[in-house]
Amino acid sequence: MSACKQCRYIVQTKDKVCPKCQGELSEKYSGMVVILDAERSEVAKIVEVNVVGSYAVKVR
Ligand SMILES: [Zn+2]
* 25 labelled binding-site residue: no
* 21 labelled binding-site residue: yes
* 58 labelled binding-site residue: no
* Confidence (pTM): 0.79
- 18 CA to middle of ligand 1, Å? 5
Return the amino acid letter for 26.
S
Torsion of CA 45, 49, 50, 56, to 10 degrees: -120
* 7 labelled binding-site residue: yes
Q: List, for residues 9-39, the tens digit of each pLDDT value.
A: 999 888 889 998 999 999 999 999 998 888 8
Q: Give the number of other CB atoms < 10 A from CB of residue 2.
A: 22
Domain ranges of the chain: 2-59
Contact 19, 40 (CB under 8 A): no
- 59 CA to middle of ligand 1, Å? 11
Q: Does domain 2-59 have CATH number 3.40.50.300?
A: no
Give the model's pLDDT for residue 17: 93
